[in-house]
Chains A and B, each alone.
Chain A
């Protein structure tokens, strides 16, 4: 049985301008010890999906339907106090900006201890010891003295390590990481990603990696969700996704990535802007930007359907199989030619 099963999740926000359909019919599952990569542009609903899973949306302005089962139990609609037993204990979360997610007027040690004391019946001394241990585990040098430092005394990469420590301090079964390395330098990003994989092995933890960087997904994920306009548009095992992406948005994402190993003069660009979730386009949400659009795309939302490899790889697109195969083969040949001339 999957550890986390999300079924037909819908999240809508009531705003002054109308209803924002932030997440529409998202279904996926996550097994123990696996990594799920979630990619999409800003506003694609990737963060909101997991805020909903964690029950972190403001209930006054949010309508949520669907089901979120964690370890077999429904957790959508649990009360705040019931959620508290899961959040921070069995599901940990780290956010993008490590400066704004830490309290600037409390020491790192105080903030880590708080997380321990909230969920465990231990003394302050034990909690402090646990805080120091976890700082050592995330490779913070001189953990026993740095535990009394304030967030501003740490660099960006170190703060992100502290955030990871805080998320892991109660040994969660799932770690949800929302763009954990976006604000960091490449070298620090490599350190943090390596640390996360190491900790994942040691703790047999499942990771949800929310990112807009396909490179990060390619390095870490077992399975990938591509999101667009609040919906999953492609879902696949990672090697299969990069080998044979099935729909135009994913092609566009892969093509628009500047790479180290190509000499292509121009990047392929996806024209236009991501759709407004307040007034999403009729039919397929990607149709206004899609180069292969035809009448049916403007009328009818394509269902998630399986491709050549079966249920393991599903996508939303009306294009016929042979057309998609032809287009991707041509794109792939062009990408490989550019890589070949670079080498």
Chain B
């Protein structure tokens, strides 16, 4: 076993302050609260959840672009949680990011060659000649014309820009690439090109990905393991096969059933569970299980009092969920989902 990245109990709290000069801390936003996972070399972890669930903050903490409040991050056998800037710089050679917006994440005033070559320059790798050769090689690998070395980002389409972003991430041969919604802004046909490219690169260079997305279809396509997050906490983790075949947490179930199906006959026949309301404010999260106000299986006196912990599913090593009343079957019956389990016990007893 070769564990590349181990994250234990990661926390990130943002202070909420009042006052202009003497900024008094009046509250905390618990953006990430107790995330743990482990990633082996060559694996992909997919992270899903609605906006505001803390998935991007979590990724930024792992890359130490944000200072974690608590927890421990071990990368390649080394504790990097509290490394200083210069030590971290060395670690960043092996850890790169690809961002969501291909328009905002490339400097509009720099040429493609300079953008892709910047990591080499920062880490002082190679001579100018070597760098240029490496950049052109990378442009070719990601499916761009190496002769576009001297062009500016605005001369490229969205999909091509995302390829530039990927080339920049790979130019120094990292071990881990954190992809923060890399295909959300792209058209379907271009999205397929980028997803295929990421998969090919993973095989060719033995890359490890943390892949953040809100699209469950995309996550299923690229991931080996999946983590579902809700308000800063993981509510279910598991291998792709187990989680998609038999989700246990009602939130995962609701997310899965909300995905539109590209087949009119199947799509209209299925029973869909539509969650009501929005993700609550992380400033003032609901007590105990954060999901309870929206949960159709909510049981008063249990879900709002006693916080469910992430526990392994019976008979599985890898599948864990945080719920007192997990789903019994999948695809579920609408009735299982709607009725709270105590009522359904009562009705069967009659």
Check if B261 sits within 8 Å of A215, measured CB to CB. Answer: yes
- In the assembled complex, A3 has its CB within 8 A of some CB on chain B: no
Q: Which of the segments B10-18, B82-90, B117-125, B191-199 contacts the partner chain?
A: B191-199
Q: With A190-B272, A190-B274 as known contacts, state yes or no: A257 contacts B217, CB within 8 Å.
A: yes
- In the assembled complex, B275 has its CB within 8 A of some CB on chain A: yes
Check if B215 sits within 8 Å of A186, measured CB to CB. Answer: yes
Check if B214 sits within 8 Å of A41, measured CB to CB. Answer: no
Check if A265 sits within 8 Å of B189, measured CB to CB. Answer: no
Q: Which of B143-170 contact A (CB under 8 A)?
A: 157-160
Q: Which of the segments B20-28, B100-108, B263-271, B334-342 contacts the partner chain?
A: B263-271
B286: A residues at CB distance < 8 A: none
Q: Which of the segments B128-136, B251-259, B295-303 contacts the partner chain?
A: B251-259
Q: With A41-B187, A186-B215, A191-B274 as known contacts, state yes or no: A267 contacts B260, CB within 8 Å.
A: no
Q: How many whole Å from B317's CB to the nearest CB in chain A? A: 22
Q: How many whole Å from A3's CB to the nearest CB in chain B? A: 23
Enumerate chain A interface residues (CB-CB to B < 8 A): 41-42, 155-158, 185-191, 193-194, 212-219, 221, 238-239, 242, 252-261, 265-271, 273-274
Q: With A187-B254, A215-B267 as known contacts, state yes or no: A258 contacts B195, CB within 8 Å.
A: yes
A158: B residues at CB distance < 8 A: 278
Enumerate chain B interface residues (CB-CB to A < 8 A): 50-51, 157-160, 187-193, 195-196, 199, 214-218, 220-221, 244, 254-265, 267-268, 272, 274-276, 278
Q: How many whole Å from A281's CB to the nearest CB in chain B? A: 16
Most buried by A among B255, B265, B278: B278
Check if B264 sits within 8 Å of A242, measured CB to CB. Answer: yes
Check if A270 sits within 8 Å of B192, measured CB to CB. Answer: yes
Q: How many whole Å from B112's CB to the nearest CB in chain A? A: 16
Check if B157 sits within 8 Å of A273, measured CB to CB. Answer: yes
> Can you identify 27 A-B contacts, CB atoms within 8 angstroms?
A41-B187, A41-B189, A185-B50, A186-B50, A186-B214, A186-B255, A186-B259, A190-B272, A191-B275, A215-B259, A215-B260, A219-B267, A221-B264, A253-B189, A254-B262, A256-B188, A257-B192, A257-B217, A258-B191, A258-B218, A258-B220, A260-B259, A269-B196, A270-B189, A271-B193, A273-B157, A274-B157
Check if A213 sits within 8 Å of B260, measured CB to CB. Answer: yes
Bound state CA distance, A18 and B274, in angstroms?
48
Check if A42 sits within 8 Å of B187, measured CB to CB. Answer: yes
B contact face: mostly helix, strand, loop, or mixed = helix
Among candidates A156, A216, A219, residue contacting B51 with C-beta atoms closer than 8 Å: A156
A41: B residues at CB distance < 8 A: 187-190
Bound state CA distance, A193 and B260, in angstroms?
10
Check if A239 sits within 8 Å of B189, measured CB to CB. Answer: no
In the complex, which residue of chain B has the Cβ closest to the Cβ of A237? B264
Check if B199 sits within 8 Å of A266, measured CB to CB. Answer: yes
Check if B187 sits within 8 Å of A212, measured CB to CB. Answer: yes
Shortest Cβ-Cβ A-B pairs, 5 listed: A215-B260, A256-B192, A190-B258, A258-B217, A270-B189
Bound state CA distance, A214 and B189, in angstroms?
11
Q: How many whole Å from B196's CB to the nearest CB in chain A? A: 5
Bound state CA distance, A214 and B188, in angstroms?
9
Check if A216 sits within 8 Å of B260, measured CB to CB. Answer: yes
Check if A267 sits within 8 Å of B264, measured CB to CB. Answer: no
Q: How many whole Å from A111's CB to the nearest CB in chain B? A: 21
Check if A268 sits within 8 Å of B263, measured CB to CB. Answer: no
Q: With A41-B187, A242-B262, A266-B199 as known contacts, state yes or no: A187 contacts B192, CB within 8 Å.
A: no
Check if A189 sits within 8 Å of B260, measured CB to CB. Answer: yes
Among candidates A185, A238, A260, A270, residue contacting B264 with C-beta atoms closer than 8 Å: A238
Bound state CA distance, A274 and B157, in angstroms?
9
Given contacts A191-B276, A254-B262, A260-B216, 19 further A-B contacts (CB under 8 A): A42-B158, A156-B51, A157-B278, A186-B214, A189-B258, A189-B260, A194-B272, A212-B187, A217-B262, A218-B264, A253-B188, A253-B189, A255-B192, A258-B191, A260-B244, A265-B199, A267-B192, A267-B195, A274-B187
